[in-house]
Structure 1
Amino acid sequence: MKEAIKGLEPRSLWEHFHEIAQIPRCSKSEEKIRDYIISVAKRNKLSYKLDAIGNTVVKKPGSKGLEKKPGMVFQGHLDMVCEKNKDTQHDFSKDPIKLKRDGDWIKADGTTLGSDNGIGVAAALALMEDKEMKHGPLEFLFTIDEETGLTGAIQIANDLLDGRMLLNLDSEEDGAVYIGCAGGKDAEIFLKMDLEKIPGGFKAVQVKLGGLTGGHSGLNIHEGRGNAIKLLNRFLWRALPQVSGRLASIEGGSKHNAIPREAETIVFLPPDKIAELKKMVKMYDAIYKDEYKLVDPKVSLTLTESGFSVPDKMFSSQLHTRLLNLLFTIPHGVIAMSHDIPGLVETSTNLAVVGRKNEQLAILTSQRSSVGSELLEIHDMVLACGYQAGAEVHSGGGYPAWKPNPKSLLLQRAKKVHKKLFGKEPEVKAIHAGLECGIIGDKFAGMDMLSFGPTIMGAHSPDERVQISTVDKFWKFVQSLIKDVAA
């Protein structure tokens, strides 16, 4: 597996990334990766501090004569999204991520790679170990649980940092720096499980919607990729009344911040209606392949009559109808584009997960917006769908947006350094995703912030990959910024 990074530069960064890939680090399980961070700090005789929730800061004093230079904070998150393909055998609690090189890309084998945010963390570790570069005071902030609600940043101790110049290493586009991000909020809807006996003679079939790309529910939401829950439900809503079909189970999606790639259901129906349902499956499979031929060409809708566990009860007529109508009416996708920044999604919502949770059917959604009032509006719209269905509705905790500051002194410095290095200024952007900068900026008054990183594609999905050539550029940009501040 180390063959994948053989000969890659910067060597220290890639070696740390390889080591990080050996360590289980799903959200809320960051203990081992935190221990690795601390071991590197101790090995390099650097002081470190943990807050009550488990965020870690490592402090590296300025080089001789540069101790009074402005302090810089490099920030990344320790956790990763743990997603795998259905046919991939992988236990994220203990198995290492298998790295593979494919031309100019590093990727994993049927799982998420963890370059989000493993590359940023590896860069910070490489900086911690660097003995050659002259620099002012440096701090390295490693937060936990970013991927499941930014809770590490939300609960960060407000005395953890000294510097007021923060570089977030969690963006995914070479040649761009980010100066703003969306805020977010989750809405969860619960329907009470109401089951009844299966009529005599009814037979179970399984219908699956798969082959979708999925992706990040903020970064990829504007691309119009298929949502497995919405597409499966669209078929069921139209087809089941025509074959006297009744749901017995439904599952789709797995993460609040990932567009669902797969969904499946078990349906009971009269045996003499199965042939008709098969015809409709074939018809909708063709429809979806046509509609999504450019963005999700591998989409598939399939029906099987065996090879699955058959439930002993099915949904009541009321639960069946309420669920199908609810999944149809809950919005998904882009709601509004920004009038201020061309091409920026301003507001969106993601129908993320559906499945049984104890004695209820749970539907998880997440909303994003760079405008606080619009975030509240789309969040309330989703809640209203739940209320209309007579469901129990929970409003999850949110996080603030990061308001762009085009006059930022750190931004002006970054433009100058980037132009000197690469012959042009970076593209200045805001991102339709929840970066920790918004929260950190709220907690630490006067914090000047930027976010940037190498090119990462397919984040939050097993297609995740990082572009090798852009990692070297990213590293040189980081080093040059440090030298410029210390000059």
Structure 2
Amino acid sequence: MPSIENLEPKLVWKHFDEIRKIPRCSKHEEKIREYIVNFAKKQGLKTKVDPVGNVVILKPATARMQNKPTIILQGHMDMVCEKNSDVKFDFTKDPIQLKINGDLLTASGTTLGADNGIGLAISLAILEDEKLRHGSIESLYTVDEETGLTGAFAMKSDMLSGKIMLNLDSEDFGVITVGCAGGGDSEIELPIKMQTAQAGGEYLIVKVSGLRGGHSGVDIHEQRGNAIKILTRLLWKVSQKFEFSLFDIKGGDKHNAIPREVYAKLTIDKKNKNAFVIVLKAEEKDIYEEIKPIDPNLKVDVGSCEPSKMVLDKLSQTKLLNLLHGLPHGVQQMNYDIKTLVNTSTNLATVSVKENTITIGMSSRSPMKSALQDMRDRIKAIASLSGAKVSEGTPYPGWKPDLQSKILALSKRTFKDMFKAEPKIEAIHAGLECGIIGEKFPGMDMISIGPTLKNPHSPEEQLHISTVDKFYKYLLKILESV
């Protein structure tokens, strides 16, 4: 079995191998921060740690490079912790299990954590390598990028002095990202009433699985299946023909991941069970035909489950199904200028029951503040029809492209010189910390770059190994040439 120890550049893979052993789910970055700070101490480098846990490591300019401007290398410490339901894995203590298949590095049934573990490893390798030539470096590591960008939001102006930033959180080698969407979450709370379940019913669990999921920003244009929307459609369809009573529903895990799995538990009159399954399976077949080009592994299972004394009353169930069925999901508007770029989208991300409330999580994105707020207002309007209340998280800003950027011009020229090809210049439909950092530090000249990473935020996450070495050499040349 191939090992990452034999991969180049060795310093990068050494750090990645250590990082993958360290628990670092969002909001639990204590151990990865300890690793980074201890590394800096061993290297004799100064550090700053702010009250929320962001870290900056300062590396002085190398010989005869003192007149170069300070460069900020930036990445985030946390990772999305997702696993397949049939995988036994504890993200609080278990190391990520790696698999190499040709040029692809993946994990075994979990997210790989290359978002943004590979960015961390690359910057740490640069800080460690004393043979490099560069001006002074500020290496910034933020907390909680994946679930709220709270590290970037909490940064104070004394954390950074540089005016040029290379964000290492992009996922396509050969692409230079120069802009991103802003975004904001909406939490819907639907009050429900419970009643005593009728005696003698059949208790069933309906589970949707096998979907690709993925990032709710960069993958949303592919129209991948949303497990919650599919389950809702199935239940809404059979509700037009049969009486049944829901008592549990749970799906999705992260606001920024397209939900891959969901289940609902219900009770139905025994005499209607077989017909219920027939109608449900017929609808599943229709859905499969609609999405099989992008999600060919859709699976809908119906099985027995433990009984429940209490179920949703009829009105609550009707409100729930109508709400979930009516809520938007996916691309809402494309960009008028860049035809392939999504302008506005929303992700129906999570659903769960707690006591007498159904909680639904939505995540919306747009580079335009007005379009983002309109999307959230629409969610409020639809939710109000069912008597639900909506609370909104603090939105984060987008990042407007600056095509006259000096670091962009240098990066384009360097790429062309090294690889004899023009890099693509793109904006992405996802939140990057660049938007917040650019707002906090006016005049910051920024780009976002990185090696190729596919299917982040899902257990299908893949890092393209060969692009890591190419990207590292490219980044070193930029640092040398600034």
Q: Does 1:334 align with 2:317?
A: no
1:68–1:137 Cα contact (<8 Å) kept: no
Shift in Å, 1:286: 1.5
* Amino acid across the alignment from 1:169: L
2:229–2:324 Cα contact (<8 Å) kept: yes
Match of 1:447 among 420, 431, 444: 444
Match of 1:312 among 309, 312, 322: 309
Secondary structure, aligned partner of 2:421: coil
Shift in Å, 1:383: 1.2
What is the rounded CA distance, in whole Å, between the counterparts of 2:146 and 2:306 in structure 1? 32
2:235–2:280 Cα contact (<8 Å) kept: no
Shift in Å, 1:341: 1.8
Could you give the per-residue CA deviations for residues 125-151 of structure 1, whole angstroms, max 9, x where no partner exists? Answer: 001101101110111000000000111
Q: Does 1:157 align with 2:156?
A: yes
Secondary structure, aligned partner of 1:177: strand
Shift in Å, 1:281: 2.5
Matched length: 482
What is the rounded CA distance, in whole Å, between the counterparts of 1:127 and 1:310 in structure 2? 58
Shift in Å, 1:446: 1.1
What is the rounded CA distance, in whole Å, between the counterparts of 2:174 and 2:355 in structure 1? 47
Partner of 1:72: 71
Structure 2 unaligned segments of length 5 or more: list them.
none
Partner of 2:373: 376
* Amino acid across the alignment from 2:144: D
Match of 1:480 among 443, 464, 477: 477
1:281–1:301 Cα contact (<8 Å) kept: no
Partner of 1:114: 113
Q: Does 1:284 align with 2:283?
A: yes
Shift in Å, 1:117: 0.3
2:178–2:446 Cα contact (<8 Å) kept: yes
What is the rounded CA distance, in whole Å, between the counterparts of 2:261 and 2:433 in structure 1? 29
Shift in Å, 1:358: 4.9
RMSD: 1.1
2:103–2:466 Cα contact (<8 Å) kept: yes
* Amino acid across the alignment from 1:28: K
Secondary structure, aligned partner of 1:62: coil
Q: Does 1:243 align with 2:242?
A: yes
Shift in Å, 1:288: 2.2
* Amino acid across the alignment from 1:107: T
Could you give the per-residue CA deviations for residues 424-469 of structure 1, whole angstroms, max 9, x where no partner exists? Answer: 2210000000000000001112100000111111100000010001
TM-score with structure 1 setting the length: 0.97
Q: Does 1:28 align with 2:27?
A: yes
Could you give the per-residue CA deviations for residues 347-397 of structure 1, whole angstroms, max 9, x where no partner exists? Answer: 000000000235421000000001111111111101111112111210111
Partner of 1:422: 419
Mean CA deviation greater in 72-81 or 156-165: 156-165
1:164–1:446 Cα contact (<8 Å) kept: yes
Q: Does 1:396 align with 2:393?
A: yes
Q: Does 1:170 align with 2:169?
A: yes
Secondary structure, aligned partner of 1:239: helix
Secondary structure, aligned partner of 2:409: helix
Could you give the per-residue CA deviations for residues 16-69 of structure 1, whole angstroms, max 9, x where no partner exists? Answer: 001000000000000000000011111110000011111000000111232231
What is the rounded CA distance, in whole Å, between the counterparts of 2:356 and 2:155 in structure 1? 35
1:454–1:474 Cα contact (<8 Å) kept: yes
Mean CA deviation greater in 350-359 or 31-40: 350-359
2:352–2:358 Cα contact (<8 Å) kept: yes
Partner of 1:361: 358
1:252–1:260 Cα contact (<8 Å) kept: yes
Partner of 2:50: 51
What is the rounded CA distance, in whole Å, between the counterparts of 1:148 and 1:358 in structure 2? 25
* Amino acid across the alignment from 2:185: D
Could you give the per-residue CA deviations for residues 286-328 of structure 1, whole angstroms, max 9, x where no partner exists? Answer: 22221111100000112112xx333221001111010000001
Distance change in 2, residues 1:200/1:310 (3 Å) = closer
TM-score with structure 2 setting the length: 0.98
Trace 1:73-92 onto structure 2 (pairs within 5 A). 73-92=72-91
Match of 1:351 among 348, 353, 362: 348
Shift in Å, 1:217: 0.1
What is the rounded CA distance, in whole Å, between the counterparts of 2:239 and 2:385 in structure 1? 22
Partner of 2:3: 4
1:240–1:246 Cα contact (<8 Å) kept: no
2:61–2:134 Cα contact (<8 Å) kept: yes
What is the rounded CA distance, in whole Å, between the counterparts of 2:265 and 2:33 in structure 1? 42
* Amino acid across the alignment from 1:397: T
